Amino acid sequence: MSYWFRNDNRLPQERLAAASYVIVGMITLLLLGFWKLQVIDSDKYGVMAERNRVRSIPIIAPRGRMLDRDGRVLVDNYPSFSVLLLRDDMAAVEKNLPAIADGLGLSLDDLKEQLSNTGALPKFQPIVIKPEATPADVAFIESHRADIPLLEMLMVHRRRYLPGGFMAHASGYVGEVSEQQIEASNGKYRPGDVAGKSGLERQYNDLLVGTDGMRRVIVNSVGKEMGRLSQQEAIPGKQIQLTIDYDLQQVAENGLGDKKGAVIALDPRTGEVLAFASHPSPDPNDFAIRVSKEEWQRLNEDQGKPLLNRVTQAQLAPGSVFKIIMATAMLESKTPPQNFTAFCPGYGVFYGQMHKCWVYGKKSHGVVNLHEAIVQSCDVFFYNVGQRMGIDTISKYAKMLGLGARTGIDMPSEEAGLVPSEEWVQRVYHHKWYPGSTISVSIGQGSVMVTPLQVAYVIGGIASGGEFKQPHLMKDAQNVGAKHVELAESTVEQVTQGMYGVINEAGGTGNSIKLQGIEFCGKSGTAQMMSYSAASRLGLGKGKNDGWFVGFAPRRDPEIVVAAVVEDTSEHGGTAAGPVVRDIVKAYYDKKEKKSQGQSTAQNQQPGAEQISANAHAVAEAPKVALKREVPAKVTQVVQKKQEPE
Partner 1 sequence: MNETTTTRDYDWWLLAIVTAICALGVLEIYSATHGSALVGMHTKQIRWLVIGFALMFVLSRIDYHLIMDQAPVLYIIGIAALAAVLLVGHTRFGAKRWIPVLGEFLQVSELVKLIIIIVLARFFAEVRTDELSLQDLIKAGLLVGIPLVLILKQPDLGTALVLMPMLVVGAFLAGLQWKHAAVIVLIGVMMLPVGWHFLKPYQKERVTSFLHPEEDAKGSGYQVLQSKIAVGSGGFWGKGFGNGSQNQLGYIPVRYSDFIMSAWAEEQGFKGVLLALGLYMALLLRLVQNAQRAKDRAGMFLVMGVTAALGFHVLVNVAMVIGAMPVTGIPLPLMSYGGSATLFVFLAIGLVMNVRLRRFVN
Residues that bind partner 1 (CB under 8 A): 1-2, 4-5, 7-13, 15-17, 19-20, 23-24, 26-27, 30-31, 33-39, 41-42, 44-46, 48-50, 52-53, 89, 91-92, 218-222, 226
**Residue 49 Cβ vs partner 1, minimum distance, rounded to whole Å:** 4
To partner 1, the closest distance from the beta carbon of 223 in angstroms equals 10
* Shortest separation between residue 22's beta carbon and partner 1, angstroms: 8
Residue 227, beta-bridge partner list:
218
| Of residues 191, 60, 193, 184, the one with CA closest to residue 114 | 191
Q: How far is the CB of 151 from partner 1 (least distance, A)?
A: 15
Taking the complex as a whole, the smallest distance from the CB of residue 2 to partner 1 amounts, in Å, to 5
For partner 1, the closer CB: 31 or 620: 31
CA distance 205 to 198: 9
Taken in order 222, 223, 224, 227, the sign of the CA dihedral is positive
Q: What distance lies between CA 200 and its chain's CA centroid? A: 4
Q: Find the shortest distance in angstroms from Cβ 98 to partner 1.
A: 16
Question: Smaller CB distance to partner 1: residue 226 or 354?
Answer: 226
Judged by beta carbon, residue 39 or residue 120, the one nearer partner 1 is: 39
Residue among 242, 614, 266, 204 at smallest CA distance from 471:
266
3-state secondary structure of 555: coil
Q: Which is nearer to partner 1, 52 or 178 (CB)?
A: 52
CB of 217 to partner 1, least distance (A): 12
Cα(356)–Cα(432) distance, integer angstroms: 25
- Identify which of residues 223 and 632 has a Cβ nearer to partner 1 in the complex: 223
| Alpha helices in 258-341, H assignment, sequence order | 293-301, 310-313, 322-333
**Which residue's CB is nearer to partner 1, number 3 or number 432?**
3
Distance CA 141, CA 62 (A): 24
Contact predicate 171/196, CB 8 Å: no
Pairing verdict, β 66-67 and 151-161: unpaired
Q: Which is nearer to partner 1, 217 or 515 (CB)?
A: 217
Asked whether 451 and 313 are in contact (CB, 8 A), the reply is yes
Of all helices (H) and strands (E), which one includes residue 214?
A: strand 213-219
Rg (CA), the chain: 35
Question: How far from chain centre, in Å, is Cα 180?
Answer: 21
Which alpha helices (DSSP H) does 105-149 contain, by range?
108-117, 135-143
- In the bound state with partner 1, the residue whose beta carbon lies nearer, of 19 and 622, is 19
Nearer to partner 1, 92 or 106 (CB): 92
User: How far apart are CB 139 and partner 1 at their closest, in Å?
Assistant: 24
Amino acid letter, residue 357? C
For partner 1, the closer CB: 29 or 622: 29
Which C-beta is closer to partner 1: that of 9 or that of 186? 9
Q: Give the distance between the most distant pair of CA atoms in the chain.
A: 153
Residue 255 three-state SS: helix
User: What is residue 574's three-state secondary structure?
Assistant: helix
Shortest distance, CB of residue 606 to partner 1, whole angstroms?
Answer: 52
> What is d(CA 549, CA 414) in angstroms, rounded to the nearest whole number?
21
Q: What is the CB-side half-sphere exposure of residue 451 using CA atoms within 13 A?
A: 25
Least separation, in Å, of the C-beta of 116 and partner 1? 20
To partner 1, the closest distance from the beta carbon of 309 in angstroms equals 50
The answer to whether residues 581 and 487 touch, using CB atoms and an 8 Å cutoff, is: no
